[in-house]
Amino acid sequence: MAKRIIFIAVLFILLISVTAYSANSKLYPKAFMPEPLLGSKNAKVEVITYFGFQDPYSGILFNDTLKQIRQDYSPNEVSIRFVNRPFEFHNNSNISAYAGECANRQGSFWEYADVLFAHRLELDANYLRIYAEDLGLNMKRFDHCFESNLVIKEVQSDLDFAVDNLEIYATPTIFINDIKLVGARPYSVFKATIDAELAS
């Protein structure tokens, strides 16, 4: 009887550990290249964004909400991480994600993303090269990356993780630590959630 009680107690502890780990597990995939990050890796609050470059609501949150977060909080308080979530019904969704990954490899992801969201209706391969060139990227490296299988695998990894692990079927989807917010929300919702996480 005593052995049975000990076994149940140990099993209960293990279950608690697994549950706690699951609740705090990574909310972005193990990538070939680290996902773009603004702010400190040790920030108390991490905002993880799943965006598509052709999605108008992702553009609104990228241009307005994320910029407001950066103004209101220090990089040591709140960090922002970008993960691709392209959709097939957006014609250039995948190739714009490839281009973003290639800009990231040259340390210019956020500047490039600004341009892509500003021109979300003009994201064919021609325009993607023009934007990269305008930012002064090394075009030989950009073209080699854009045409490589590695960048395709990278974006597919993001997509598979989003769907299979996190059940993300709409953009924008944002995690503030482990709190999931789907769709366009007023900035007050994001601010209240971040403040609560900082205070916890």
pLDDT tens for each residue of 92-131: 988 999 999 999 999 999 999 999 999 999 999 999 999 9
pLDDT of 107 reads: 95
Whether 155 and 94 have beta carbons less than 8 Å apart is answered as yes
Q: What is the pLDDT of residues 5-41, one digit of tens each?
A: 433 333 332 332 222 223 334 765 665 567 889 999 9
Mean pLDDT of 39-47: 94
CB of 42 within 8 A of CB of 78? Answer: no
**Residue 103: its pLDDT value, please?**
97
Mean pLDDT to the nearest integer, 175-180:
94
| Residue 44, φ and ψ in degrees, nearest 5 | -70, -30
Q: Are strands 179-182 and 78-84 parallel, antiparallel or unpaired?
A: unpaired
Lowest-pLDDT choice from 98-107, 157-166, 175-184, 188-197: 157-166
In this prediction, residue 29 carries a pLDDT of 60
The confidence score (pLDDT) of residue 112 equals 97
Which two structure tokens, joined as six digits, stand for 76? 């040591």
pLDDT tens, residue by residue, 120-160: 999 999 999 999 999 999 999 999 999 999 989 988 888 78
**Which pLDDT score is estimated for 85?**
83
Distance of CA 139 to the CA centre of its chain: 25
Residue 53: φ, ψ to 5°: -65, -25
Neighbours of 97 (CB within 10 A): 27
Predicted confidence at residue 182, as pLDDT, reads 92
Average the pLDDT over 59-78 and give the result. 95
pLDDT for the residue 169 = 83
pLDDT score for 139: 98
Q: Write the CB contacts of 113 (distance below 8 Å, at least 6 apart in sequence).
A: 36, 53, 62, 82, 100, 103
DSSP H or E segment with residue 164:
helix 149-164
Q: How many residues does the chain have?
A: 200
What is the band of 64 on the pLDDT scale with cuts at 50, 70, 90? very high
Q: Walk me through the domains of the chain, giving residue ranges and CATH numbers.
A: 37-199 (3.40.30.10)
